[in-house]
Amino acid sequence: MDPVQVLVALANLSVIIGIGLGLLQLRAIARQRQEDMVLRAFEPFLDPAFSRAFWEVQTWRYTTFEQFDAEATLEDLVTLDVVSVQFETMGLLYKRGLAELDFLDDLMAEPTLMTWNRIAPIVYGYRAKANVPGWSQWHERLAVALDKRLTELGEPHEPLVKP
Protein backbone atom coordinates (compact mmCIF):
# COMPACT_ATOMS: atom_id res chain seq x y z
CA MET A 1 0.00 0.00 0.00
CA ASP A 2 1.24 3.43 -0.96
CA PRO A 3 2.16 5.70 2.01
CA VAL A 4 -0.09 8.43 0.59
CA GLN A 5 -3.07 6.05 0.63
CA VAL A 6 -2.27 5.09 4.23
CA LEU A 7 -2.17 8.75 5.22
CA VAL A 8 -5.46 9.43 3.40
CA ALA A 9 -7.07 6.43 5.13
CA LEU A 10 -5.78 7.64 8.53
CA ALA A 11 -7.06 11.15 7.82
CA ASN A 12 -10.50 9.78 6.95
CA LEU A 13 -10.48 7.60 10.05
CA SER A 14 -9.53 10.55 12.23
CA VAL A 15 -12.43 12.60 10.79
CA ILE A 16 -14.86 9.76 11.54
CA ILE A 17 -13.50 9.38 15.08
CA GLY A 18 -13.72 13.15 15.57
CA ILE A 19 -17.36 13.19 14.47
CA GLY A 20 -18.13 10.29 16.82
CA LEU A 21 -16.47 12.05 19.75
CA GLY A 22 -18.29 15.26 18.89
CA LEU A 23 -21.64 13.47 18.94
CA LEU A 24 -20.82 11.94 22.32
CA GLN A 25 -19.91 15.37 23.66
CA LEU A 26 -23.14 16.88 22.31
CA ARG A 27 -25.13 14.18 24.09
CA ALA A 28 -23.30 14.87 27.35
CA ILE A 29 -23.79 18.62 26.94
CA ALA A 30 -27.52 18.16 26.30
CA ARG A 31 -27.87 16.12 29.50
CA GLN A 32 -25.85 18.70 31.44
CA ARG A 33 -28.09 21.49 30.11
CA GLN A 34 -31.18 19.56 31.20
CA GLU A 35 -29.78 19.10 34.69
CA ASP A 36 -28.79 22.78 34.85
CA MET A 37 -32.32 23.78 33.84
CA VAL A 38 -33.80 21.55 36.55
CA LEU A 39 -31.43 22.98 39.14
CA ARG A 40 -32.38 26.53 38.11
CA ALA A 41 -36.06 25.61 38.41
CA PHE A 42 -35.24 24.10 41.81
CA GLU A 43 -33.69 27.34 43.15
CA PRO A 44 -36.97 28.66 44.62
CA PHE A 45 -37.04 25.56 46.83
CA LEU A 46 -33.95 26.95 48.54
CA ASP A 47 -35.58 30.32 49.25
CA PRO A 48 -36.55 30.82 52.93
CA ALA A 49 -39.99 32.12 51.86
CA PHE A 50 -40.70 28.89 50.00
CA SER A 51 -39.34 26.87 52.89
CA ARG A 52 -41.78 28.60 55.25
CA ALA A 53 -44.67 27.92 52.86
CA PHE A 54 -43.59 24.29 52.45
CA TRP A 55 -43.49 23.68 56.20
CA GLU A 56 -46.73 25.56 56.73
CA VAL A 57 -48.43 23.12 54.34
CA GLN A 58 -46.83 20.18 56.15
CA THR A 59 -48.31 21.34 59.47
CA TRP A 60 -51.77 22.35 58.26
CA ARG A 61 -54.72 21.21 60.31
CA TYR A 62 -56.77 20.69 57.14
CA THR A 63 -57.44 17.04 56.34
CA THR A 64 -60.32 17.42 53.88
CA PHE A 65 -61.26 19.81 51.10
CA GLU A 66 -64.46 20.70 52.92
CA GLN A 67 -62.50 21.79 55.97
CA PHE A 68 -60.02 23.74 53.84
CA ASP A 69 -62.81 25.35 51.81
CA ALA A 70 -64.64 26.45 54.96
CA GLU A 71 -61.69 27.58 57.09
CA ALA A 72 -58.78 28.54 54.83
CA THR A 73 -57.60 32.11 54.95
CA LEU A 74 -56.29 34.07 52.00
CA GLU A 75 -52.80 33.35 53.36
CA ASP A 76 -53.56 29.61 53.24
CA LEU A 77 -54.69 29.91 49.61
CA VAL A 78 -51.52 31.80 48.70
CA THR A 79 -49.39 29.24 50.52
CA LEU A 80 -51.10 26.42 48.64
CA ASP A 81 -50.45 28.19 45.32
CA VAL A 82 -46.80 28.90 46.12
CA VAL A 83 -46.08 25.31 47.06
CA SER A 84 -48.18 23.57 44.42
CA VAL A 85 -46.87 25.72 41.55
CA GLN A 86 -43.25 24.86 42.39
CA PHE A 87 -43.95 21.14 42.35
CA GLU A 88 -46.14 21.58 39.27
CA THR A 89 -43.16 23.17 37.49
CA MET A 90 -40.93 20.21 38.28
CA GLY A 91 -43.67 17.83 37.15
CA LEU A 92 -44.01 19.71 33.88
CA LEU A 93 -40.25 19.47 33.27
CA TYR A 94 -40.55 15.71 33.82
CA LYS A 95 -43.58 15.45 31.51
CA ARG A 96 -41.77 17.32 28.73
CA GLY A 97 -38.74 15.04 29.04
CA LEU A 98 -36.54 17.88 30.25
CA ALA A 99 -35.90 16.25 33.63
CA GLU A 100 -35.01 12.60 34.15
CA LEU A 101 -36.99 10.80 36.84
CA ASP A 102 -33.86 9.43 38.50
CA PHE A 103 -32.48 12.98 38.81
CA LEU A 104 -35.76 14.26 40.29
CA ASP A 105 -35.77 11.26 42.62
CA ASP A 106 -32.33 12.18 43.91
CA LEU A 107 -33.23 15.85 44.15
CA MET A 108 -36.71 15.89 45.64
CA ALA A 109 -38.61 12.60 45.86
CA GLU A 110 -39.57 12.80 49.53
CA PRO A 111 -40.65 16.46 49.51
CA THR A 112 -42.73 15.80 46.39
CA LEU A 113 -44.52 12.85 47.99
CA MET A 114 -44.91 14.57 51.36
CA THR A 115 -46.45 17.64 49.79
CA TRP A 116 -48.70 15.72 47.45
CA ASN A 117 -50.01 13.63 50.33
CA ARG A 118 -50.84 16.78 52.31
CA ILE A 119 -52.56 18.65 49.49
CA ALA A 120 -54.14 15.74 47.55
CA PRO A 121 -57.50 15.86 49.37
CA ILE A 122 -57.64 19.62 48.79
CA VAL A 123 -56.67 19.27 45.13
CA TYR A 124 -59.22 16.53 44.44
CA GLY A 125 -61.96 18.54 46.15
CA TYR A 126 -61.08 21.76 44.37
CA ARG A 127 -60.94 19.99 40.99
CA ALA A 128 -64.49 18.74 41.52
CA LYS A 129 -65.89 21.99 42.92
CA ALA A 130 -64.34 24.32 40.34
CA ASN A 131 -64.51 21.83 37.45
CA VAL A 132 -60.77 22.11 36.78
CA PRO A 133 -59.62 18.50 36.33
CA GLY A 134 -56.11 19.57 35.31
CA TRP A 135 -55.32 21.61 38.40
CA SER A 136 -51.99 20.43 39.85
CA GLN A 137 -51.96 17.46 37.48
CA TRP A 138 -48.21 17.55 36.81
CA HIS A 139 -47.45 17.55 40.52
CA GLU A 140 -49.72 14.53 40.88
CA ARG A 141 -48.18 12.72 37.89
CA LEU A 142 -44.69 13.38 39.20
CA ALA A 143 -45.68 12.06 42.63
CA VAL A 144 -47.19 8.92 41.05
CA ALA A 145 -44.04 8.35 38.95
CA LEU A 146 -41.76 8.83 41.95
CA ASP A 147 -43.91 6.53 44.09
CA LYS A 148 -43.74 3.85 41.39
CA ARG A 149 -39.97 4.25 41.02
CA LEU A 150 -39.30 4.08 44.75
CA THR A 151 -41.56 1.03 45.06
CA GLU A 152 -39.77 -0.73 42.19
CA LEU A 153 -36.40 0.07 43.77
CA GLY A 154 -37.63 -1.24 47.13
CA GLU A 155 -36.87 2.07 48.83
CA PRO A 156 -38.97 2.92 51.88
CA HIS A 157 -41.18 5.95 51.41
CA GLU A 158 -44.47 7.44 52.47
CA PRO A 159 -47.36 5.70 50.65
CA LEU A 160 -49.04 7.86 48.06
CA VAL A 161 -52.50 9.27 48.80
CA LYS A 162 -54.99 8.24 46.11
CA PRO A 163 -58.58 9.42 45.61
Listed as ranges, residues in the chain with pLDDT below 70 are: none
In this prediction, residue 64 carries a pLDDT of 95
Distance (Å, whole) CA 135 – CA 88: 9
Distance CA 50, CA 40 (A): 15
What's residue 8's pLDDT? 74
Exposed/middle/buried for 156, CB within 10 Å: 0-12, 13-18, 19+? Answer: exposed
- pTM given for the model: 0.78
CA–CA separation, 71 vs 73, rounded Å?
6
pLDDT in tens, 56-68: 999 999 999 999 9
Residue 58, pLDDT score: 95
Distance CA 159, CA 151 (A): 9
